[in-house]
Structures are given as structure tokens and as C-alpha cells.
Amino acid sequence: MRANDLIIPTVPVSYVLMLLDIAADYGVRRETLLDGLNIAPELLQKPEGRISLLNEYARLCIRALKHTGEPALGYEFGLRATLTTHGILGYGLMSQPSFRHVLDFAQRFGSVLRMPAWHLRFFVQGDYTIMEGQEAVSHGSLRRFSCEQLLISVSSIARQILPVPDPQIELLFDYPEPEYHARYRDRLPKVRFSAGCTQMRVPASYLDIPLRTADQVSALLAERECARELSLLGHNRDLVNQVRAVLVNDGGGYPTLEQVAERLHTSTRTLNRQLEKRGSGFRELLAEARQRDSLTLLEDPRLTLTDIAQQLGYSSLANFARAFRAWNGTSPGEFRARGERR
């Protein structure tokens, strides 16, 4: 893995302990995996302990794959993961009042605190709510492991949280089906390979299902602790990506500057000033989100161009068309027609 982000990515020791336990089931001793790594034994006893993603954790994963001889360790990790594996984040997820709030909480805290190898984006497209992962680091030889760890862990969380028998979940991987998938097919939700993306999809109808584990006080306590953890990790250095993660259109429009500032626990004045220091701005990031989402929405044949313009927050189709032409050098209608002809 190779960093391309401003934050030095780290993972919690709970992930290390999970990997060590899985390797032990394959007869690999803990000492064999930890020898020479900068992971002190006392660190593994600290609930708040974290290790470097790009050095220690990546090396640990490579060793585990080698010594166990099991290429499906990402599957094993994901299937064994519970809400408690993710610590205070898992506690916060299970305390939310609805699945919509779960996804919002995951978007705000999940990438940096628990899955720093990925930028996670959550959005609604047609009948589906989608979590999409985009690489935050270069994964190298660990790419399949990382993809499987991400999607299967997240689907395990969804199945634990949703009060729905046999929830409809679909996982999309962007590489061909590996040979070992057949061994796990019956334990996984629906899976599609060579899909061109890394996504988990669930029905949008799940968004407002009340959760049995909801607890307002616990949700607030978990949010406070996750915000504190983000601050300790220096998440403000990655402010541009934090704003990008919050600028998601859930069908009811994009968050306002005030709403984004509130979610990031800052003021609008401070947010504007810090973005400007980084050579960016709220309007530019909003335009970037609209440009990104316009391409996705144009793939849905059920939406008219006027529908798309309204969903993106434009007052008229003409304004949307003008902005789209500036981004892509063509009109949205021409762009859609070209896609249909391919």
C-alpha cells in the first residue's frame, strides 16, 4: 500500500487481534506474525491503541496470507467481524434510530477511524442505497484482501443491525470471481464480480426502518467520542476530503454550508477559512459533487433531464445543461445518448 492522503492512516488494535486469532486457527503462532514489527505487546492491551496502516498492518496482512496459505482471509475477517470489533464506532452505529442515520454516522466517521484504506461514499440511486468504496491508498498485492475485508465486514454489520429477516444485500467487486468464493457462497449475501466498482447495495426502502437497538443517549456519547478520536488523529488536515464525504445528495438535495459545518463540529467561518487555506472552497466542492453525481444519474433511464437537474439543485434544466457542458464539453442529452449507443 502507498499513501496518497494527508492523514497518516492507522487502524485499531482490534483489527490486529482479529487477524491474529484467524491466523491462529490455521496453526500460525502470534509470534511468527509479529516478529520484527513495531507492535509492542502492551499496545495490544490498550482499547484505544492504533498501528500504522501502511507499515505494520500491511506487513501483518501480507505475513498472514503467506503463513496461513489461505487467500480468503479477507472473507474470514469480514464474516467474523461484529459490531464490537469496530469499538466505539460499532457502538455508535447500533445506537442510531434508523438505517439512514447508521449510514450518515458511518460516512462521517467510518473511513478515517476504521477503514482508512478507503474513501466511503453513501448515496441513493433509484431503488438502492449504495455504499461505494474508492481507494484512499494504493493497495498493491493486498487489493483483493482489502476489498473483501471492506465489503464483507460492512455487509456483516448491516445484517447485524437491520431488523429484517434475510436482508437483501448485494456486494459488487470490480475483479473476476476468485476460486475460493465457492467455499463461502452460502455464507454471503448476493455477490457480483467484474462489476466495475466496489459497492454494497441495499434497498432504499430500508433507510427509515427503526432499529431495535436505538438509544439516543448512547448515540450522542458515541458521536462525541468518535469526534474526539478524529480530532486526536488530526482529521482537520484532511478537511477537503471530509467535506467531500459529507456532500452527498440523498435525493433531497445537498447539505448546506451550515449543515456541513455542523456535521464537522466547526463554524461556517472557520470552515470557509480552512478550505481557503487548502486552495479550495465550499462552492467548488459542491460543483465537484454535482459533476460526479450527474454522471451517475444520467445512467438511470427512468430519470428525465429535468428530474436530474432538480435533484442536483439547479433551478432550471438550462442552468444544469450549461454547467454540464462546462464540465464535459457536451450537453447532458448528448452524453446520455452516447452512453446508450455503446
The residue among 340 and 53 whose pLDDT is bigger is 53
Summarize the confidence of residues 94-106 as an average pLDDT.
Answer: 92
Q: Do domains 2-206 and 237-342 have the same CATH topology?
A: no
Confidence of residue 15 (pLDDT cuts 50, 70, 90): very high
Summarize the confidence of residues 115-137 as an average pLDDT.
Answer: 88
pLDDT at 232 over 70: yes
Share of the chain above pLDDT 70, in %: 94
How long is the chain? 342
Confidence of residue 238 (pLDDT cuts 50, 70, 90): low
Summarize the confidence of residues 194-206 as an average pLDDT.
Answer: 95
Cα 277 from chain centre: 26
Other C-beta atoms lying within 10 Å of the C-beta of residue 331: 15
Residue 126: is it exposed, middle or buried by C-beta count within 10 angstroms (0-12/13-18/19+)?
A: middle
Confidence of residue 265 (pLDDT cuts 50, 70, 90): confident
Q: Which residue has the cell 448491516?
A: 158
Quick one: pLDDT at residue 342?
A: 46
- 126: closest CA among 307, 302, 248? 302
The residue type found at 213 is T
Under a CB-based contact definition with an 8 Å cutoff, are residues 70 and 76 in contact? yes
- Strand-pair category, 128-135 with 199-203: antiparallel
CA distance 340 to 333: 11
- The CATH number assigned to the domain with range 2-206 reads 3.90.1520
Quick one: pLDDT at residue 340?
A: 52
If you average pLDDT over every residue of the chain, what do you get? 88
Quick one: pLDDT at residue 113?
A: 85
Residue ranges of the domains in the chain? 2-206, 237-342
Quick one: pLDDT at residue 128?
A: 93
Quick one: pLDDT at residue 247?
A: 83
* Contacts (Cβ under 8 Å, ≥6 apart) of 161: 83, 93, 94, 99, 102, 211, 213
Domain 237-342 part of CATH 1.10.10.60: yes
pLDDT at 5 over 60: no
pTM over 0.85: no
CA distance 146 to 124: 24
Summarize the confidence of residues 278-302 as an average pLDDT.
Answer: 85
Residue 263: is it exposed, middle or buried by C-beta count within 10 angstroms (0-12/13-18/19+)?
A: middle
DSSP code of residue 57: I
The residue among 6 and 282 whose pLDDT is bigger is 282
Summarize the confidence of residues 177-192 as an average pLDDT.
Answer: 96
Quick one: pLDDT at residue 199?
A: 96
Quick one: pLDDT at residue 249?
A: 78
* 160's grid cell: 447485524
Torsion sign, CA atoms 91, 92, 94, 95: positive
pLDDT at 194 over 70: yes
- 261: closest CA among 280, 232, 239? 239
Share of the chain above pLDDT 90, in %: 53
Give the strands of the sheet with 128-135, arranged side by side.
Answer: 118-125, 128-135, 199-203, 170-172, 190-192
* 179's grid cell: 476460486
* Contacts (Cβ under 8 Å, ≥6 apart) of 28: 64, 67, 68
Quick one: pLDDT at residue 234?
A: 65
CA distance 274 to 261: 11
SS3 168: coil
Q: Give the DSSP H or E segment for 248.
A: none
The residue among 29 and 238 whose pLDDT is bigger is 29
Confidence of residue 160 (pLDDT cuts 50, 70, 90): very high
Quick one: pLDDT at residue 280?
A: 87
CA distance 248 to 104: 10
* 34's grid cell: 509479529
pLDDT at 2 over 70: no
Other C-beta atoms lying within 10 Å of the C-beta of residue 4: 9
CA distance 58 to 142: 8
